[in-house]
Amino acid sequence: MKRKTFLATVVGAALALTAFEAPAQEPIKIGEINHFKRMAAFAEPYRMGVELAVEQINEAGGVLGRPLEFIYRDDQGEPGEAVKIAEELMTREGTVMLTGAILSNIGLAISSLAAEKHYVYLASEPLADALVWDKGNDWTFRLRTSTYMQAAMLAEEAAKTDAIRYATIAPNYAYGKDAVAAFKENLLALKPEVEFVAEQWPPLFKIDAGAEVQALERAKPDAIYNVTFAGDLAKFVREGTTRGLFDGRKLYGLLSGEPEYLDPLGAEAPEGWIVTGFPWYGFDEGAEKDFVNAYQARWDDYPRNGSIVGYNTALSVAAAIEKAGSTEAEAIREAFVGLELDTPVGPVTYREIDHQSTMGAFVGTTALRDGEGVMIDWEYRDGADYLPSDDVVREMRPAK
Amino acid sequence: MGLFIAQLLTGLANAGALFMVASGLSLIFGVTRIVNFAHGSFYMLGAYVGYTLMQVLPGAFGFWGAILLTGVVVGLVGVIVEILVLRPVYRAPELFQLVATFGVILVIQDLALMIWGPQDLLGPRAPGLKGIVRIMGEPVPKYDLALIAITPFVALALWWLIARTRVGILVRAATQDREMVGALGVNQSWLFTGVFFLGCALAGLGGAVQLPKGGADLLMDFNILASIFVVVVIGGMGSLPGAYLAAVLVSVLNVFGVTYLPQSTLVLMFVVMALVLMIRPYGLLGREEVAGDHGQSGEPERPIKPAGARVRLIVAAGLAVLAVVPLLAPSWIAILATDILIFCLFAASLHFLLGLGGLVSFGHAAFFGGGAYVAALLVAHAGTPMELALLLAPLGAGLLAMIIGWVCLRLTGVYFAMLTLAFAQLLWSLAYQWGEVTGGDDGLVDIWPPDWATSNLVFFYLTLVLCIGGILALRHAAHAPFGYALRAARDSARQAEATGIHTRAVQWVAFALAGAMAGLAGGLFVFAKGSVFPNELEITRSFDALIVVFLGGVKTLSGGVVGGAVFESAKDMLTRFEYWRLALGLTIIAVVVLAPEGIVGGLRRLGERIGLLRPSEQET
């Protein structure tokens, strides 16, 4: 091909393309703020989950006839940055609402901005109870099964055993404290004779596991409730196993069954712990299995808990905008209140009373299979069954 | 009794890795006077490299071989860093190199993520040492005993190297007087490189030996940083036996803290450090700092003059542009400009302390965060209006600075810096733990400006007036007799006192003033963001300001402001890229290497060379 002809072809093709694309609709943009670098192990599977859902939605014709598009921005794990980026996304990029955050403090910072500036914010991953209760507001919705709900699920399991003396170990910050308080409250309500004989509070990501294990052993508990995660969990499990802390005791682990935390333990994953998590390997059929298959086909990787949260985030956003019939903030906000949708794990409702979704969690027992930690005998628990009574919620949520 | 002994052994075992990492830092500081912020990164690298090597090398021989090899590999990485990044800037102002090491942290973070991926790696167990031994009925892991046994050997080997070999003599001589060693014909640069190799190798060893007790993750670098600084300072900067003693002290105390005061472990270390420094200002086994005591290192600073008419005109024009642009630009520009202004005031306040006072604070976030919390607490608990809160924020932070300054100013140099860091950490843990009042790490939210100032534009103008006012006030103080007295105290405390200047009092007032201005910036920050979290008191916040001041130019009056503006804007742009930490780190390193006098200093030099500036107009 002569050079001129070649150029002409290229230009022609480009023109044809633009001409072809011109009538296509402007995408609906969603601002997604996360700690993609600071918490890469959690944020990346989440992003992949979002992308998968977005691709599926757009293949099926998009939302309101327009394609959906997420704009991803890294907040460096700083609340102040997150607020700045949120403003930029909403005023410059033309996003219609905000999603994201894993760290609770960043979720709370964006939530406060959302209420002030009337932006819709779907807090997809942050777990803090305060987000929907003490510091809840009209413009913030939360998808993930909250600390309280997951702790209540484990408390229900704990109440079924004859253990009386409990010890707790939780990272020394708001999530850890909320998780212990919720577990205590629910367990004592179900079984008043339970006593808590030791509370250990290792600093987040700086656990001195040997010392913590000794301190727990000293209290001679019947059962231990663990809230540590990530690197802290790995160190705790290793020291605890080495020193025989877990022998003959019941162990309850919040989030410990999520692949994000179980997989790094490899063959040293503890056996017989009752945990909340995401047993993607155990799905045989139905929507869950379809999700896992689609995810593996798209990313050549297996889904983590963050993946399903990301997937459901995009589904929720699409459902809300579809229901609103417009991309106006107020319309989306109203659509989110009481929004019902089907997700791979089951139907989810965004409660009118506190904007918490009823997405549940899987509760099961840890075991080893082929040198990998897995959850067995698991069961999906609907989040709606593990929330405080409406009166309690109303009391916690600030008056309008 | 059995439990007591078992706990003691746990503490001793924990001290092992801590000692290795801390002794490396101490060694590097002792000889090169570099405060190596990137030391935690070498520790992290040690864990990752050790993990990889252990996967390849089989058996017990492979395990221990991998640990030794890790030391060599990480040491070599250290050598590369030293030659490429630090060697060009040894003659820069004191402590300037820490900026370069900060750039290294960012680069290593992204490289580690690229190479080893985001998932935490669980360290392999030591072959043959997987079980426990029962001592008086209490289980003690065998590997703990191995660590307890190995650490003294490492310490002894180091001691032998330093005390009994010719290399050691040179190292000790360099610790005492670098220039004299150079004058005696020793090739300093290779000595420095050698020490850097050794220091980094120790950090790498520390990272590798802790693998069987933990693993490798991407947050390790910052997580260990505070502990090793504490250990080095408690032991005495440059003292190896001190580092060992302090590592044992900190680790053992921590084990008992976990058992008897489980909530205390966040602060315990810093309380111990503050106490030790108040009683023994140079650490348990440290000696009074001699190097850099009289005057400044590097080229002396040029005298400060009030800006000439032309410069004033330029600045006024710049301000006018700054005031008009947000009117025409989209509203997010006003938000970005607000952020930059607040940061500039924060940086200028540290620059005042650091550049004019010669007081290097590693804990300036205490006053930024302090002011922010004063304002936020007043609003949250007393319903104070914004106007009053913005007045009380600098006052509260200034008061805080007076208290902290009164304690810290008894020390000088790096010890002063470390004590300020300790106080900032104490404040941080207070904000973090005292949930009922401060909201803990869930912070204080919904603190927004009143109706008249909710618009981004109005709030920008409010910030503009207050920040420029604050910066001008600091500048005025620099030109006032007070500023002269402060610089006199910096350049020669002895001569200043001989002329009747009460140097301690002058420094104390400067510390309070800088604290108050940082507090004002913090107060504005709260209302700009609507919330405050303990992040604003973190070490990283103090580092941000430090880096900006050094990048801008310590020995120039406008260094803080210019550095703040450039750095914030650069960060805003770079964080849009996927590997922004790598980009930012390389940018910082490039500035450090190309313009060791900082941005303003470098521009000034360039201006003089091409004839744009006459030497008489240097200070802008």
Long-range contacts of A263-267 (CB under 8 A, 24+ apart): A263/A372, A263/A373, A263/B119, A264/A230, A264/A234, A264/B119, A264/B120, A264/B121, A264/B122, A264/B215, A265/A233, A265/A234, A265/A237, A265/A373, A265/B122, A266/A371, A266/A372, A266/A373, A266/B122, A267/A368, A267/A371, A267/A372
Q: Which residues of A5-37 are buried (b: 16+ CB within 10 A; e: fewer)?
A: eeeeeeeeeeeeeeeeeeeeeebbbbbbbbbbb
For residue A384, what is the DSSP state? G
Give me chain B's average pLDDT, please: 89
What is the per-residue DSSP string for A227-270? ---HHHHHHHHHHHHHTTTTTT-EEEEEEEESHHHHGGGGGG--
Q: How many CB atoms lie within 10 A of CB A267?
A: 10
Please give the pLDDT value at position B282.
Answer: 85
Backbone angles phi, psi at B297, to 5 degrees: -85, 165
- Determine contact, residues B234/B250, Cβ cutoff 8 Å: yes
Given a cut of 60, whether residue B566 has pLDDT beyond it is: yes
**Contact of A173 with A229, CB cutoff 8 Å:** no
Could you tell me if B442 lies within 8 Å of chain A, comparing CB atoms? yes
Name the average pLDDT for chain A.
91
Query: In order of start, what are the domains of chain B with their CATH numbers?
Result: 2-221 (no CATH), 310-617 (1.10.3470)
How far away is chain A from the Cα of B286, in angstroms, using its nearest Cα? Answer: 27
Residue B37 is given by DSSP the state: T
Residue with the bigger pLDDT between A25 and B196: it is B196
Mapping DSSP to helix (H, G, I), strand (E, B) and coil, where does residue B466 land?
helix
Mean per-residue pLDDT for A298-325?
Answer: 96
Amino acid (1-letter code) at residue B139? P
Q: What is the mean pLDDT of residues A270-283?
A: 96
pLDDT at B476 over 50: yes
The residue whose two tokens read 């190292």 is: B171
Does B330 contact chain A (CB < 8 Å)?
Answer: yes
Tell me: pLDDT of A400 over 70. no
pLDDT at B299: 63
Note whether A201 contacts B144, CB cutoff 8 Å.
no
Question: Which among A243, A301, A302 is the top mutation candidate for probing chain B, defined by the most B β-carbons within 10 Å of its own β-carbon?
Answer: A243
Q: Is A303 left (phi over 0), alpha (psi -120 to 50) or beta?
A: beta
Chain A nearest CA to B527, separation (Å): 11
pLDDT tens digits along A364-384: 999 999 999 999 999 999 999
- N-terminal to C-terminal alpha carbon distance within chain A: 71
Distance CA B353, CA B597 (A): 18
How far apart (Å, rounded) are the C-alpha atoms in residues B347 and B364?
9
Q: How close A269 comes to chain B (CA, Å)?
A: 11
- Specify which residues A252 forms β-bridges with: A225, A274
Q: Report yes or no: B239 and B283 within 8 Å, Cβ to Cβ.
A: yes
Instruction: Give the distance from residue A224's alpha carbon to the nearest chain B alpha carbon, in angstroms.
Output: 16
Provide the whole-model pTM: 0.89
The listed CATH number (3.30.230.10, 2.170.150.70, 2.40.290.10, 3.40.50.2300) that belongs to domain A28-145+284-359: 3.40.50.2300
- Would you list the DSSP string of A277-342? E--GGG--SHHHHHHHHHHHHHHSS---HHHHHHHHHHHHHHHHHHHHTS--HHHHHHHHTT-EEE
Three-class SS string for B491-545? HCHHHHHHCCCCHHHHHHHHHHHHHHHHHHHHHHHHHHHCEECHHHHCHHHHHHH
Residue B289 confidence class, pLDDT cut points 50, 70, 90:
low
pLDDT higher than 60, residue B298:
no
For chain A, say whether B14 makes contact (Cβ under 8 Å).
yes
B288 vs A150, B93, B270, B271, B285, CA distance in Å?
A: 55, 21, 21, 22, 10
Complex ipTM value: 0.88
Express each pLDDT in B439-470 by its tens digit. 888 899 999 999 999 898 999 999 999 999 99
Q: How many CB atoms lie within 10 A of CB B319?
A: 12
Mean per-residue pLDDT for A145-153? 96
More confident residue, B599 or B529: B529
- Residue A276 has what pLDDT? 96
pLDDT tens across B37-70, in order? 899 999 999 999 999 999 999 888 899 999 999 9
Predicted confidence at residue B297, as pLDDT, reads: 54
Which pLDDT band, with edges at 50, 70 and 90, does B615 fall under?
A: low
| B457 interfaces chain A, CB cutoff of 8 Å | no
pLDDT value for B295? 45
Contact A99, A309 (CB under 8 A): no
Q: What residues does CATH 3.40.50.2300 cover in chain A?
A: 28-145+284-359, 148-283+362-386
Write out pLDDT tens, residues A83-96. Answer: 999 999 999 999 99
| Residues sharing a CB contact under 8 Å with residue B298, sequence separation 6 or more, in sequence order | B91, B92, B93, B94
In whole angstroms, what is the distance from residue B338 CA to residue A88 CA?
13
Q: Percent of chain A scored above 70 by pLDDT?
A: 94
The mean pLDDT of A31-41, rounded to a whole number, is 91
SS3 B228: helix
Q: Which of A74, A173, A231 sits opposite B120 (nearest CB)?
A: A231
> How many percent of chain B have pLDDT more than 70?
96
**CATH class name, domain A148-283+362-386:** alpha beta
Length of chain A: 400
Query: SS3 for B610?
Result: coil
Helix (H) or strand (E) holding B236: none
**HSE-up (13 A, CA, CB side) for residue B62:** 12
pLDDT confidence bin for B620, thresholds 50/70/90? very low
Residue of chain A whose alpha carbon sits nearest to that of B449:
A116
Neighbours of B314 (CB within 10 A): 13
Give kind and range of the element (H or E) at residue B258: helix B240-260
Query: Which position has the token pair 């406060």?
Result: A112
Dist CA A201 CA A116 (whole Å): 35
Question: How distant is the Cα of B439 from the closest Cα of chain A, in angstroms?
Answer: 9
- Which DSSP letter does residue A90 get? I
Residue with tokens 């010669």: B358
Please report the pLDDT score of residue B528 as a whole number.
95
Asked if B456 is an interface residue toward chain A (Cβ–Cβ < 8 A), one would say yes
Spatial separation of the C-alpha atoms in residues B131 and B144, rounded to whole Å: 10
Q: Are B446 and A40 an interchain contact pair (Cβ–Cβ within 8 Å)?
A: no
In this prediction, residue A17 carries a pLDDT of 47
Length of chain B: 620
Please determine, for residue A20, whether its predicted confidence score (pLDDT) is greater than 70: no
List Cβ neighbours of B519 (8 Å cut-off, separation of 6 or more).
B367, B368, B370, B371, B372, B374, B393, B394, B395, B396, B397, B398, B400, B401
- Determine the residue among B9, B110, B119, B459 to mutate to test chain A binding: the one whose Cβ has the most chain A Cβ atoms within 10 Å: B119
Per residue in B87-141, pLDDT tens?
Answer: 888 877 767 888 899 999 999 999 999 999 988 899 999 988 888 888 888 889 9
In this prediction, residue A24 carries a pLDDT of 63
Distance CA B192, CA B169 (A): 14
Residue B619 pLDDT exceeds 70? no
Beta bridge partners of A69: A29
> What confidence category does residue A118 fall into, taking pLDDT thresholds of 50, 70 and 90?
very high
Q: Which residues 237-266 of B are in CB contact (within 8 Å) with A?
A: 254-255, 258-259, 262-263, 265-266
Nearest residue to B550 via CA among B584, B597, B518: B597
> Model confidence at B182, in pLDDT bands (50, 70, 90)?
confident
CA B130 to chain CA centroid, nearest Å: 38
Q: Which of A214, A239, A263, A301 to mutate to test the interface with B (most CBs of B within 10 A)?
A: A214
Closest Cα of chain A to B529: distance in Å? 6
**B463 interfacial to chain A (CB closer than 8 Å):** no
Q: Are B250 and B18 in contact (CB under 8 A)?
A: yes
Distance CA(B101)–CA(B235), nearest Å, equals 23
How far is A219 from A204, CA to CA, in rounded Å?
22
Q: Which of B43, B526, B529 to mutate to test the interface with A (most CBs of A within 10 A)?
A: B529
State residue A21's pLDDT score: 47
Contacts for A386 with CB less than 8 Å, ≥ 6 apart? A148, A149, A150, A152, A153, A156, A360
CB contact under 8 A, A210 and B332: no
Contact B305, B294 (CB under 8 A): no
| DSSP assignment string, B69-86 | HHHHHHHHHHHHHIIIII
Mean pLDDT, to the nearest integer, of B386-414?
93
Q: Which long-range contacts (CB under 8 A, 24 or more apart) does A58-67 make?
A: A62/A25, A62/A27, A62/A28, A63/A28, A63/A318, A63/A321, A63/A322, A64/A28, A64/A321, A64/A322, A64/A325, A64/A326, A64/A327, A65/A25, A66/A25, A66/A26, A66/A27, A66/A28, A67/A24, A67/A25, A67/A27, A67/A28
CB interface of B with A, residues 509-548, below 8 Å? 525, 528-531, 533, 535-536
The yes-or-no verdict on residue A16 having pLDDT over 80 is: no
* pLDDT reported for residue B376: 97
In which residue are the tokens 């990501």 written?
Answer: A205
- CA–CA separation, A71 and A76 (whole Å): 16
Task: Look at residue A385 and give its three-state secondary structure.
Answer: helix
With an 8 Å Cβ cutoff, is B35 touching chain A?
no
- Residue B359's pLDDT band, with cuts at 50, 70 and 90, is very high
**What are the structure tokens assigned to B301, written together?**
């600073």
The verdict on a CB contact (< 8 Å) between A172 and B576 is no
User: Mean of the pLDDT values across residues B277-304?
Assistant: 69
At A399 the pLDDT is 67
Looking at residue B577, what is its pLDDT?
Answer: 86
Q: Do B440 and A173 touch (CB under 8 A)?
A: yes
What does R_g of chain A's alpha carbons equal in angstroms? 23
pLDDT at A110: 96
Report pLDDT digits (tens) over B188-234.
Answer: 888 889 999 999 999 999 999 999 988 999 989 988 988 898 899 89
Is any Cβ of chain A less than 8 angstroms from the Cβ of B335?
yes
Tokens at B38, concatenated: 């990137």
